[in-house]
Structure 1
Amino acid sequence: HNKKKLLQGGSVARAILESKKFGVRALIRDETRPSVQVLRDLGAEVVKGDLNDKASVEAVLKGTYGAFLVTNFWDNFSKEKEVFQGKLVADAAKSLGLKHVVYSGLENVRRLTGGKLEVPHFDGKGEVEEYFWSIGVPMTSVRVAAYFENFLGPWKPVKASDGDYYTLALPMGDVPMHGISVADVGVAVSCIFNSPEEFVGKAVGLSSEALTIQQYADVLSKSMGKEVRDTKITPEVYEKLGVPAVKEVANMCRFYQMKPDRDIKLTHRLNPKVKSFSQFVSENQAALKEN
């Protein structure tokens, strides 16, 4: 998951540098990562720092027009740490008078469902969104749909034990699930920075398209040359699987079944080259075949 966070930040940095309207200063923790050299090569100024440290955050934000922030729940599986980091950045943005923050947020599911559902990796981001707005920072939240990249990793089709086919197990029933490639987020965010008057104070749901799990399976089947079946698993049964973060994913899918707002039309306007799932899969065939 850490890789995804880097990809989101990297995708945004690349798009902003390519649009030539802003320079980029990137906050990184580990200078030995290959992605850091990539950012330098693109022309970003790279600063070592830590989102848990006030002085470090203020130093990187000082003198900037705005900031793109993505926090990482999966670092410690801790909602509290994620909220702490988000609020620290919000306070620094407020005191330094930043003109526009774009935050990679998500809904506060716990609040929206009156405590019935908890999705910690959403809820913390929702709390941070609310905090940014409550202290008056000019902020746009981008709520990114499920990453297509997950279908190459944690949600990869699994070979069936009883035959020559593969299964896809995500508890969505027949409700379409929105998705997007993390690589396509950057251009959309860059456009949002270029239109503050339209986007400050708003939450924007980014999605390339919404497909049912069976439709995702059909695209994967075509690409793999093997049948992929939607197992039609329920959230209740999914929760009993012995895989990491089952409750988290089950509750996320329960929330997705409530159809949170993701704006396909707007996403295509912000990034006309946004890839469909079948385009994404055909570009990543090698990764899929590593089964």
Structure 2
Amino acid sequence: MAGKKIITVLGATGAQGGSVASALLKDCSFAVRAVTRDVSKPAAEKLRKAGAEVVAADMNDEKSLSAALNGAYGAFVVTNFFEHNSKEKEAAQGKRIADLCKKHGLKHVVFSSLENVHKLTGGKLQVQHFDGKGEAEEYFREIHVPMTSVRVAFYFENFLTVSKPHKSQDGKTYQLVIPMGNVPMDGISVADLGGVVRSIFQKPSEYIGKDIGVSAEKLTIKQYAETMSKVSGKNIVDSQITPEAYERLGFPGAEELANMFRYYQMVPHRDVKLTHKLNPDSKNFLQFAESKKKDIQDL
């Protein structure tokens, strides 16, 4: 690592952190310090073999976080609301990390954030997994940490997991149950985030202090469904469900996600042109779907 700028990547074995760590390891000007709670997991060993320094730290443990950030030039910071489902805990984690970045004099932090929806809407709408990140982002600014905020759009990968098509009762049609109406929704493959973040670290003077909405493409749910149908050969359609009906589905987190889609219907700023400038290899949804053809066919 001698002579290279050390970037501490928090959550390095997760989807976002893993993407960022992988992209940075391909750039000879950076050394990667990959942070995870369990350094023995296969994903950690893979990063170690790729050339990363792998260290253990916990978002709730100041001592281990401090050690992970000590001596680093910069950091990629991502927190995970869904590990504990607490806006307050996520905000506290983000603020703890901000204080430590300030203490250790980091020159550039890229923070995976989202808008403070509760504040932006005057309390009319609450999206807790956005709001906690938004509070932490505000705190980074307040204490003058040199930071770029990246606000990542809906993952294309969600169409294969939590938002995968559901088979209709007739057994012939599949529905995307996502309450967006005819409003286009931004999306990106989380695997492409790393290239975006790498470019941001490469040009700190251009991006420090900026809020960057990351999106590869804006499509309606009908268009997402048509693309999945084209690739898979299945008949996939937009269910046209409303946010109100969606939250009545009653699964854990239904109300939280319904509020997220209500906010998405307000069309938060996501910059497709800038995203492709930062990572020219970012896939549009058709390219993503074609790369996951078998996965879609097997849903």
Q: Do the structures match in fold with TM over 0.5?
A: yes
SS in 1 for 2:209: coil
1:96 aligns with 2:93: no
Partner of 2:85: 77
**Alpha-carbon deviation of 1:106?**
0.3
Shift of 1:244: 2.7
Confirm or deny that 1:287 pairs with 2:295.
Answer: yes
Is 1:187–2:176 an aligned residue pair?
Answer: no
Structure 1 residue ranges (4+ consecutive) displaced by more than 4 angstroms after TM superposition: none
Counterpart CA distance in 2 for 1:96 and 1:8 is 24
The answer to whether the 8 A contact 1:5-1:72 is kept is: no
Q: What's the CA shift string for 1:11-44, capped at 9, x where partnerless?
A: 1011111011110101110123211111111110
User: CA–CA distance in 1 between the matches of 2:16 and 2:49?
Assistant: 17
User: How far did residue 49 of structure 1 move?
Assistant: 1.2
- Asked if 2 retains the 8 angstrom alpha-carbon contact of 1:5 and 1:70, the reply is no
CA contact (8 A) 2:173 2:237 kept: yes
Report what 1:7 is aligned to: 15
Corresponding residue SS for 1:123: helix
Contact 2:90 2:132 survives alignment (8 Å):
yes
> How many Å apart are 1:153 and its aligned residue?
0.1
Letter in 2 for 1:59: A
Q: Measure how far apart 1:289 and its partner are.
A: 2.6
Aligned residue for 1:172?
Answer: 180
Distance 1:242 1:220 in 2: 26
**In the aligned structure 2, how far is the partner of 1:124 from the partner of 1:5?**
22
CA separation in 2, counterparts of 1:96 and 1:206? 28
Q: Distance in 2 between matches of 1:76 and 1:83?
A: 12
CA deviation string 1:87-109 (max 9, x = no partner):
11100001111000000000000
| 1:123 aligns with one of 131, 151, 161 | 131
Does residue 226 of the first structure (1) align with residue 234 of the second (2)? yes
Aligned-pair distance for 1:4? 10
CA RMSD of aligned residues (A): 1.3
TM-score of the aligned structures, taking structure 1 as reference length = 0.97
**Structure 1 counterpart of 2:154:** 146
Deviation at 1:189, TM superposition (A): 0.2
AA partner of residue 220 (structure 1)? M
Match runs of 1:35-74 below 5 Å? 35-74=43-82
Q: Tell me what 1:201 maps to.
A: 209
Q: Tell me: CA distance 1:250–1:206, structure 2 relative to 1, closer, same or farther (3 Å).
A: same
Label 1:5 to 1:206 Cα distance change in 2 as closer, same or farther (>3 A). Answer: farther
Query: 3-state SS of the aligned residue for 1:24?
Result: strand
Aligned residue identity for 1:286: K
Q: Structure 1, residues 231-288: CA drift from partner, whole Å, max 9, x if none?
A: 1110001111132311111111110111110000000000001001111111112222
Structure 1 residue 82, shift from structure 2 partner: 0.9
Q: Deviations over 1:127-182 (max 9, x none)?
A: 01000000000000100000000000011111101241101111101000000000
Matched, 1:157 2:158: no
State whether structure 2 residue 42 is matched by structure 1 residue 34: yes
TM-score by length of 2: 0.94
Distance 1:286 1:280 in 2: 12
Question: Comparing 25-34 with 188-197, which one deviates more in the overlay?
Answer: 25-34
Question: 2:251 maps to which residue?
Answer: 243
- Percent of paired sites with the same residue: 57
Using the TM superposition, give the Cα deviation of residue 5 of structure 1 relative to its aligned residue in structure 2, in angstroms. 7.2
Question: 1:96–1:135: structure 2 CA closer, same or farther, 3 Å change rule?
Answer: same
The one-letter amino acid of 1:141's match is: S
User: Aligned to 1:19, what secondary structure does the other structure show?
Assistant: coil
Aligned to 2:3: none
Q: Partner letter of residue 166 of structure 2?
A: V
Moved more, 98-107 or 236-245: 236-245
The aligned counterpart of 2:220 is 212
**Runs of 5+ in structure 1 lacking a partner?**
none
